[in-house]
Amino acid sequence: SRDTYIIATGNRTQDKSGANRLVSKLLGRVRLFEFVENIDDWCDWALDRGIAVEMIQFLRFRPNLLSDFDANRKINPTPRSWEMANAVNTTLPSDLYFSNIAGCVGEGAAAEYTGFRRIFENLPNIDGILLNWIDPRLRK
């Protein structure tokens, strides 16, 4: 039927990520679209899916780490792997937390993210600052 569409996804062969070249017979029967990650689109998606605010802020700060694929690395930061990293239990001891994040996005990205997260967690609460400024009775 003309109303039936089959959608498939895959990686590009030039990324050396296990993809094979499509045979000519198939290429003549499909439409190929290439999608490029976009930090704004990913952040909109992430906000709707409950991704941690600190992860979204980190990737806004370091947008090149949203997708930093290198075929020579075993583990790479990708939009999918950041989503997996978001599921890591934040109450784990710091060494286990780091190891789990590194297992999702690689050691370099994990080191940057966990460092950012430590700073983020120790920032003052902006709501408290504003409330204190607005209502002088709250000043100590």
Query: Which pLDDT belongs to residue 12?
Result: 65
DSSP string, 19-40: --PPPHHHHTT---------HH
What is the Cα–Cα distance from 82 to 101, expressed in whole angstroms?
Answer: 9
- CB count in 10 Å sphere of residue 119: 10
- 116's CB contacts (< 8 A; 6+ apart) are 54, 57, 58, 61, 62
Query: Which pLDDT belongs to residue 94?
Result: 95
CA angle 68, 70, 72 (to 5 degrees): 155
The per-residue pLDDT string of the chain (140 residues; one tens digit each, 9 = 90 and over) reads 578 777 766 666 666 566 677 777 777 777 777 878 899 999 999 999 999 999 999 999 999 999 998 888 999 999 999 999 999 999 999 999 999 999 999 999 999 999 999 999 888 877 777 776 666 655 55
Query: Which pLDDT belongs to residue 84?
Result: 98
Query: Which pLDDT belongs to residue 133?
Result: 65
| Torsions phi, psi for 137 (to 5 deg) | -65, -20
Query: Which pLDDT belongs to residue 82?
Result: 98
pTM (two decimals): 0.74
Burial of 133 (0-12, 13-18, 19+ CB in 10 A): exposed
What is the Cα–Cα distance from 130 to 27, expressed in whole angstroms?
Answer: 59
